Amino acid sequence: SLSERLEGAFKQLKGEGRISEINIATTVKEIRRALVDADVNYKIAKDFTDRVKDKALGEKVLTAISPGQLMVKIVKDELVELMGSTESELDIKTNPTVILIAGLQGSGKTTFSGKLANFLKSKKNKKPLLVAADIYRPAAIDQLKVLGGQVGVEVYSEPENKNAVEIAENAIKHAKAQGNNIVIIDTAGRLAVDEVMMTEVSNVKKAVNPQEILFVVDSMTGQDAVNTAKAFNERLNFSGIVLTKLDGDTRGGAALTITYTVQKPIKFVSMGEKLDTLDVFYPERMAQRILGMGDITTLVERAQEQFNEEQAKKLEKKIRQNQFDFDDFKEQLAQIKKMGSIKDLLGMIPGVGKAVKDLDISDDAFKGIEAMINSMTPAERGNPDLIDGSRRKRIAKGAGKEIQDVNQFMKQFEQMRQMMKMMNKIPGGAKGLKMR
Ligand code: GDP
Ligand code: MG
């Protein structure tokens, strides 16, 4: 899968101090390939990875997170920035606000019109009027009427009139008379961009002067979507994009390519045929979808917050001098706990999230260890070698544990210290080990 491939590329970064030109070459290539796989146009993917590379070079790698995770975060942040950082709201202050819906046939215009009417009525307290301006297919009027009926919104139509401009103008008069503060005009589409359709929709635009022109595009059409978006934008200079059919298994790379190409915000995503499956667009979520990852960025952010460099250096020094003791251990535990529950943390790792969701992982194991450390005297904590049999018995009692628990914990702690000692004997420490 995509995220596996990315992680594979990231693995080689482990153990490096800073991200350098050489150690991200493969990673950058993998990211580019991943984006192209997600339907992002090649040239855009290349521009994008160049930007990511510039940002990543020289970034300091924190001990708490792997360089790979840091790269993922840089990539994701960059994606979010490209897709418009924050949600882009509709401009609905004018009374009535006219919203023109345009796009190819089958892209989901009529369905979206119904959803939008529902959204504005129930979430924004508006009184919308739906307008059937598709003059080529009689069934289109009925389709909109069914949708309007389901959401309790009036549908304006003139079945005998073959002039979309007139219908739109009359609908606005009707809206003003009836007190509708939103007019949603659903237009006709063709299977491909053609002159008749373009002329008609731009004539409607000229006549009604809409506050919003929303270009509806099927997210499953991939690369083609870009050319369609370009053609519509040149003629209509639309104000926003609506991505439909995101409930399919498309990765949504089209979202990135289209916004990047036409420099217009995505305002809504449609995720199903039910009328309440419309959502405002969150660049953050789309970035994660494109990258096929769990919430790894949150994990990285928390790690960056919680692990300060000073502490990390102090700890490293103690490890180097074979002085790692129970106080240090306790401090590490506290750090991990500050980042959230163990289950939450595991859940944020891509690929692990699903697996742990149903498991009963509690923080009790950690509580037991903490209790044992708390039962030690300061002298014992600072000098673990002091802890003999009778002291172990006392510690077990104080922590409400069995002596076997203390023995096991002591054994694990000793193994950990042995490992640290071995690392220190190798020139260059852990890095030296890796190089052999
Ligand atoms: P129009 O020709 O642009 O008006 O497109 P329609 O609204 O008639 O939609 C075309 C087809 O796509 C219909 O079968 C819709 O039910 C379907 N459709 C529209 N939006 C979505 C969506 O978000 N998800 C899915 N799965 N199907 C959709
Ligand atoms: Mg339609």
Q: What is the pLDDT along the chain (436 residues), one digit of tens a residue?
A: 445 555 555 555 555 556 666 667 777 787 788 778 777 888 888 988 888 888 877 676 555 556 666 777 788 888 888 887 666 789 999 999 999 999 999 999 999 999 999 999 999 999 999 999 999 988 999 999 999 999 999 999 999 999 999 999 999 999 999 999 999 999 999 888 899 999 999 999 999 999 999 999 998 887 788 889 999 999 999 999 999 998 776 667 778 888 888 989 999 999 888 898 888 888 887 887 777 654 455 555 555 555 566 676 777 777 777 788 888 888 777 766 666 556 555 555 544 444 555 555 556 667 788 889 999 999 999 999 899 999 999 999 999 999 999 998 898 888 777 777 776 665 544 443 333 2
Is residue 271 within 8 A of residue 277, CB to CB? The reply is yes
- Classify 118 as helix, strand or coil: helix
Backbone angles phi, psi at 130, to 5 degrees: -95, 135
Q: Prior bond to 96 cis, omega within 30?
A: yes
- Ligand 1 centroid distance, CA of 144 (Å): 12
Q: Which of 100, 105, 109, 111 to mutate to test the pocket of ligand 1 (most atoms within 8 A of CB)?
A: 111
Please give the pLDDT value at position 244.
93
* Residue 64 assigned to a binding site: no
3-state SS assignment for residue 245: coil
> Measured between alpha carbons, how far is 33 from 290 in angstroms, rounded to an integer?
12
Partnered with residue 184 across adjacent β-strands are 99, 130
Q: What is the pLDDT of residue 406?
A: 93
Tell me how far the alpha carbon of residue 91 lies from the centroid of ligand 1, in angstroms: 24
How much is the pLDDT for 368?
A: 84
Q: Which residues, at least 6 apart from 127, have a Cβ–Cβ distance to it below 8 Å?
A: 121, 179, 180, 181, 182
388 labelled as ligand-binding? no
C-alpha count within 13 angstroms, C-beta hemisphere, residue 231: 18
Question: What is d(CA 295, CA 302) in angstroms, rounded to the nearest whole number?
Answer: 11
Q: Does the predicted interface ipTM exceed a cut of 0.90?
A: yes
Residues 6+ apart with CB under 8 A from 345: 299, 336, 339
Q: Is 107 in the pocket of ligand 1 (CB under 6 A)?
A: yes
| Nearest ligand to residue 114 Cα | 1
Distance 108 CA to ligand 1 centre (A): 4
Tokens for 327? 């106080």
Superfamily of domain 97-281 in CATH is P-loop containing nucleotide triphosphate hydrolases (3.40.50.300)
Of the chain, the end-to-end C-alpha distance in Å amounts to: 31
pLDDT recorded at residue 208: 97
> CB burial class (10 A; 0-12, 13-18, 19+) of residue 317?
exposed
Q: Where do the structural domains in the chain lie, given as residue ranges?
A: 2-86, 97-281, 308-435
**Residues sharing a CB contact under 8 Å with residue 107, sequence separation 6 or more, in sequence order:** 189, 216, 217, 218, 244
- Does residue 117 contact residue 184 with C-beta atoms inside 8 Å? yes
- What was the pLDDT predicted at 81? 86
Instruction: Give this prediction's pTM.
Output: 0.67
3-state SS of the chain: helix, strand, coil percent to 5? 60, 10, 30
Separation CA 271–CA 216 (nearest Å): 13
Does the domain at residues 308-435 carry the CATH identifier 1.10.260.30?
yes
pLDDT at res. 67: 62
Cβ distance 133 to 185 under 8 Å? Answer: yes
Q: What is the DSSP letter of 220?
A: G
| 270 CA: nearest ligand 1 atom | 23
**278 alpha carbon – ligand 1 mean position (Å):** 12
| 429 annotated among ligand-binding-site residues | no
**CATH T-level assignment (fold) for domain 2-86:** Four Helix Bundle (Hemerythrin (Met), subunit A) (1.20.120)
19-27: which pairs have CB atoms within 8 A and are 24 or more residues apart?
Answer: 19/56, 19/57, 19/58, 19/59, 19/61, 19/67, 19/70, 19/71, 20/57, 20/58, 21/57, 23/67, 24/53, 24/56, 24/57, 24/71, 27/68, 27/71
Identity of the residue numbered 163: N
Reported for 168-174, long-range contacts at CB under 8 A and 24+ positions apart, including other chains, are: 168/131, 168/133, 168/204, 168/207, 168/208, 169/207, 169/208, 171/129, 171/131, 171/133, 172/96, 172/98, 172/208, 174/129
Residue 211 has what pLDDT?
97
From the list 7, 64, 9, 72, the residue with the least C-alpha distance to 295 is 72
Task: Please tell me whether 245 is known to bind a ligand.
Answer: yes
